[in-house]
A = this chain, B = another copy of it.
Amino acid sequence: MAVTQSRKRAAILAIGDELLSGRTRDANIHYLSGWLTERGVALAEARIVPDVLDEIVEALNALRAKYDYVFTSGGIGPTHDDITVDAIAAAFGVKVIEHPKAVAMINAWYDAKGEEVTPARLRMARTPEGVELIDNPVSGAPGVKLENVFVMAGVPRIFQGMLNAVEGAIESGAPVHSRAVTARNLPESRLADQLLEVQSAHAGVSIGSYPIDGDEKGVTVIARADDPAIADAAIDAVVNAMRALGFEPERSDRKHRS
């Protein structure tokens, strides 16, 4: 990638046996990738690990040392298999406490619904020491922020709600300007030399080539650049190359977020 040097870089650590067993297809990585791109932040890596404390600790410590922001998803619910809070505390070398403000939030949430605050529900008030809380507009129990790590729920609707709640803590960057064009039925391999030429001729652009379900059904080319004029010039050159091969390009910028 030729772009993104000046942008903040983020990673996501998705936690849960069910994401690795075939039961559940993760949705948060993809959602976060689009959300960050819209804010000029680069999602630079994603990892999925099971509900195993040492694995979570190792991955989290690697990611939080390397990136500006780390988002975790999953494992912060009320049941015995929710061990993310303990893992985060172990990774930072801090204690797990019952967070007074989290207790208050959970009490208020269940009081408003006329339900009892059981020990299991209070388990969701356990946090690593020294955190800020992340509002949960969907189901009450908060996420936590500790240094550059945002610990959030795995249920996509809750993850997305928490993401909105932390927007102010993320330093957004200049948007990447992205242009896309598709030529149906043009094999990617017939356009390869031309794409290399376009890439070489346009400094500051990153040209990506994405075959449609293999090399036969067509190709989508994306030009990404900090400078919109450079993205425009590069994609125009790709359009001309497609036409020279006898294929009619379809511009599709709006369908692609980057």
- Residues of chain A whose beta carbon lies under 8 Å from any beta carbon of chain B: 1, 17-26, 29-30, 33-38, 42-52, 55, 59, 77-82, 118-121, 123-124, 138-141, 155, 157-158, 176, 188-193, 195-196, 199, 206-211, 213-216, 222, 224, 256-258
* A247 to B: closest C-beta gap in Å: 15
Known: A43-B21, A214-B157, A216-B139. A29 touches B48 (CB 8 A): yes
> Cβ of B155 and Cβ of A23 under 8 Å apart?
no
Main secondary structure of the interface of A (DSSP, over half): mixed
Complex Cα spacing A50 to B118, Å = 44
A208 near B37 with CB under 8 A, answer no
Q: Is the CB of A80 within 8 A of B37?
A: no
B48 and A55 form a contact (CB under 8 A): no
Cβ contact within 8 Å between B79 and A214: no
Which residues of the partner chain B approach A157 to less than 8 Å between Cβ atoms?
213-214
- Give every chain B residue within 8 A of A55 (Cβ-Cβ): 44-45
Of all chain B residues, which has the CB nearest A27? B25
CB of B80 within 8 A of CB of A222, answer no
